[in-house]
Amino acid sequence: MAGKYTFTMIKPDAVEKNNIGGILEMMNAAGFRVVSMKLTQLSAAKAGEFYAVHSERPFYGELVEFMSSGPIVAAILEKENAVEDFRKLIGATNPANAEEGTIRKKYAESMGKNAVHGSDSDENAMIEGNFFFSGLERF
Q: Is 137 left (phi over 0), alpha (psi -120 to 50) or beta?
A: alpha
Considering 8, 117, 118, 125, which one is annotated as catalytic?
117
Q: Which of 59, 97, 109, 123 is the binder for ligand ATP (CB under 6 A)?
A: 59
Q: Which of 117, 125, 128, 129 is the binder for ligand ATP (CB under 6 A)?
A: 117
| Cβ within 8 Å of residue 55, ≥6 positions away | 48
Q: Would you count residue 112 as binding ligand ATP (CB under 6 A)?
A: yes
Q: Which of 24, 34, 111, 126 is the binder for ligand ATP (CB under 6 A)?
A: 111
14 to 53, contacts with ligand ATP by CB under 6 A? none
Distances (CA, A) of 74 to 8, 92, 96: 6, 20, 25
